[in-house]
Amino acid sequence: MKKVFPALPERILLIRLKGIGDVILSTPLVRALRKKFPQAEIHFLIRAFCAPILIHNPYLNKLLIHPEKSASLGEKFTFVKSLRDAGYDWVLDLAAEPRSAWLTLATGAPLRAGYSFRIRKWAFNKRIPKNKIRKYQGEINLDIIRALGVSDDGNQTEIYLTPEEMEWGSRAFDQPEFKDLKKKIGLNPTGMWSSKRWPADYWRRLASLIYEKWGFKAILMGGPGDKELLEEIRWGIEGKVLVKPGSNLLESAGFISKLDIVIGNDGTPQHIAQAFGTKSLTLCGPHWGIGWTRPNDIRHRYLQHFLDCGPCDFNVCPFPRQEGMAAHVHKECLVKIMPQEVMGVAGQMLQVNPT
């Protein structure tokens, strides 16, 4: 018997329990659902650290925060019960991970959609075929609603800021050390996973080259936990590089929106840049650059060396740090991206020539 799903859902739940970049890449889907179903309540279940990215999104009615690991069993049970009691018509699992798939099933929604991954597919009654080819994650998200007959208006991501948050970025460039920059070049050397981080000495060499060849001081960007890394990169070149003032996530987004380019590891600042149309050059190692860089947009490019061991999607490089002990050296995919190569591509994007 053919399943009949609610054609005009009154209440929709989206689930994405991964990182900030993943949530940013889901915003085209949110926009498309709102335009298709203007009358519906649309809720989004995320982790607490991702909430700022969606807090001002006008297409959402409510953000739900997943309990932390430290939450009691009772708190977790109450949360799951609240999802079931909410009476969602559609639940869309954007990642089809074990936890999100289980939560999708627990809602008991008439339509539960997600990608057909192994055992997890049994949580869904609308199973989306797995992608056969690598492509942009924003498009992969949109494939879910396309399978439900919902059209989209493109894969441009978006982040909404208050006037105060946007103004913070402008005020930062009024400070004396930033005021006269001819090119605003942000460098993002940070990253949650070690396998994604370009070596610190490479960042030091890149910052030196930008100053010596182009005459610009680049701006190192990082959060509260990155102070040690930024100091390591600045060592010996303090007069050739600047450091972004401390700020929260959305103030940092306002700052990034004012830059000419962000050169960085695969991570949140690159996705923020793409959301605002700031040029971005991403240094990709174990994870496919095509999956995280908006396609057919000359403002956004990535560099990646394809070795016989990857892209492997590992968050920790399995090869030892000592050379000569294996067929590959530690983080070889990133080590092969040289500062001079980055300068060449960034120079094309900024249309600058060596002085």
* Predicted local confidence at residue 6, as pLDDT: 66
**Given pLDDT bands bounded at 50, 70 and 90, which one contains residue 278?**
very high
CATH architecture of the domain with residue range 168-350: 3-Layer(aba) Sandwich (3.40)
- The helix (H) or strand (E) run that includes residue 101 is helix 98-107
- The helix (H) or strand (E) run that includes residue 33 is helix 27-36
Decide if 11-146 and 168-350 have a common fold.
yes
Structure tokens at 267: 């991570």
SS3 call for 63? strand
Average pLDDT over the chain, rounded to an integer? 91
pLDDT for residue 65 is more than 70: yes
pTM of the model: 0.92
Q: What is the tens place of the pLDDT at every residue in 219-275? A: 999 988 899 999 999 999 999 999 998 889 999 999 999 999 999 999 999 999 999
**Given pLDDT bands bounded at 50, 70 and 90, which one contains residue 3?**
low
- Give the chain's radius of gyration (CA, Å): 22
Q: What is the tens place of the pLDDT at every residue in 84-129? A: 999 999 999 999 889 999 999 999 999 999 998 888 889 999 999 8
* Predicted local confidence at residue 313, as pLDDT: 81
Q: What is the tens place of the pLDDT at every residue in 322-336? A: 655 556 777 788 889
* Predicted local confidence at residue 1, as pLDDT: 44
Question: Domain 11-146, what fold?
Answer: Rossmann fold (3.40.50)
Ranges of each domain in the chain: 11-146, 168-350
